[in-house]
């Protein structure tokens, strides 16, 4: 599948895609650098030749139209006016990112599962842990996770979700330039950021959406899209950086534990 540019993704306002290709690649690159040798060997064996965590990082987005049932697995709609996640309210029938990660962890950890099932589980996990850290994948203001909030960013019309997926990130630098700097920062905070559960990570993203994504929006003008100005970008850019770095640290921890048989922390 041909990849769209971040600007084209923003302008087309595709629904509920997380981070865009650059963001997911950065998460995968940070995680790959932090895998144990044993976990890295297993990842390579599961994926097979000519594929890496980085090359498959956006696979789950690429198949969404051909496998529409996977769409709800990319996010969890925690109401923006609620302080905490409620799985019975926010993840009905297990159709959300938190439940999907748990399901696929079980498959990936099962050495007796069919190889193609373990490979698919790994590809979903690599992507979904990235999605979990895009704040609008863990929040909803009765606006489809920001998809119905019209905005203008860098003189281009789009929506709030797309701005956070790729519009803002596309102006922060090239992937190859960002990676060494963000990896160094992620490694420095690894012990702290790797703690917690998937559920806690989702609630953390939700709080970021409350405080920054929605909380710092400029005043709305009736009938007009919101202008995401320099003041908003100044607040958003550091959040995007930290969320991607955390996702990389946590993906590495998740895979190191899962592929070694170690239990993940629970509430």
Q: What is the reported pLDDT for 18?
A: 74
Residue 73 lies in a domain: yes
**226 phi and psi, to 5 degrees?**
-75, 140
Q: What is the reported pLDDT for 16?
A: 52
> How far apart, in Å, are the Cα atoms of 179 and each of 114, 144, 175?
34, 31, 6
Q: What is the reported pLDDT for 109?
A: 97
CA dihedral 11, 131, 248, 63 (to 10 degrees): -80
Q: What is the reported pLDDT for 220?
A: 83
Q: What is the reported pLDDT for 223?
A: 85
> How far apart, in Å, are the Cα atoms of 265 and each of 44, 200, 253, 254?
25, 10, 11, 10
pTM: 0.91
Residue 1 lies in a domain: no
Q: How many domains does the chain have?
A: 1
Tokens of residue 101, six digits = 């990660």
> How far apart, in Å, are the Cα atoms of 252 and each of 15, 45, 108, 194?
27, 16, 14, 8
Q: What is the reported pLDDT for 9?
A: 40
Residue 146's domain comprises: 6-260
Residue 38 lies in a domain: yes
What length is written for the chain? 267
Residue 266 lies in a domain: no
Q: What is the reported pLDDT for 12?
A: 41
**Spatial strand order in the sheet of 150-153:** 156-159, 150-153, 226-227
Q: What is the reported pLDDT for 3?
A: 37
CATH of the domain at 241: 1.10.575.10
- In the chain (267 residues long), the average pLDDT of successive 10-residue segments reads 39 58 97 97 97 98 97 97 97 97 98 97 98 97 95 95 95 97 98 97 98 94 92 97 98 97 56
Closest C-alpha to 26, from 116, 134, 188, 153: 134
Residue 250 lies in a domain: yes
- Alpha helices of the chain — where are they, by DSSP H? 6-12, 20-34, 37-47, 59-62, 87-90, 97-109, 115-132, 160-162, 175-188, 190-193, 198-208, 230-260
**SS in 3 state form for 74-125?**
HCCCCECCCCCCCHHHHCHHHCCHHHHHHHHHHHHHCCCCCHHHHHHHHHHH
Residue 163 lies in a domain: yes
Residue 191 lies in a domain: yes
In 10 A of CB 112, how many CB atoms?
5
Q: What is the reported pLDDT for 221?
A: 85
Residue 265 lies in a domain: no
Q: Are the CB atoms for 5 and 11 separated by under 8 Å?
A: no
- The C-alpha atoms of residue 92 and residue 11 are separated, in whole angstroms, by 31
């Amino acid at each position: 599948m041909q990849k769209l540019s971040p600007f084209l993704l923003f302008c087309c306002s595709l629904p509920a895609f997380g981070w865009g290709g650059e963001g997911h690649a950065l998460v995968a690159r940070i995680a790959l650098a932090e895998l144990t040798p044993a976990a890295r060997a297993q990842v390579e064996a599961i994926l097979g030749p000519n594929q890496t965590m980085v090359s498959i990082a956006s696979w789950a987005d690429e198949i969404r139209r051909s496998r529409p049932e996977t769409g709800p697995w990319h996010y969890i709609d925690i109401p923006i006016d609620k302080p905490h996640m409620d799985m019975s309210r926010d993840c009905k029938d297990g159709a959300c990112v938190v439940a999907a990660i748990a399901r696929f962890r079980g498959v990936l950890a099962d050495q007796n599962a069919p190889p193609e099932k373990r490979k698919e589980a790994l590809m979903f996990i690599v992507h979904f842990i990235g999605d979990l850290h895009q704040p609008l994948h863990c929040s909803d203001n009765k606006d489809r996770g920001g998809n119905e909030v019209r905005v203008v960013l860098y003189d281009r019309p789009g929506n709030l979700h797309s701005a956070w997926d790729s519009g803002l990130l596309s102006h922060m630098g090239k992937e190859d330039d960002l990676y060494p700097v963000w990896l160094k920062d992620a490694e420095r905070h690894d012990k702290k950021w790797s703690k917690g559960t998937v559920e806690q990570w989702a609630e953390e993203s939700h709080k970021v959406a409350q405080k920054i994504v929605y909380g710092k929006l400029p005043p709305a003008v009736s009938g007009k899209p919101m202008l995401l100005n320099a003041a908003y970008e100044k607040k958003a850019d550091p959040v995007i950086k930290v969320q991607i770095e955390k996702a990389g640290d946590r993906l590495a921890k998740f895979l190191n534990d899962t592929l070694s048989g170690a239990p993940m922390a629970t509430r």
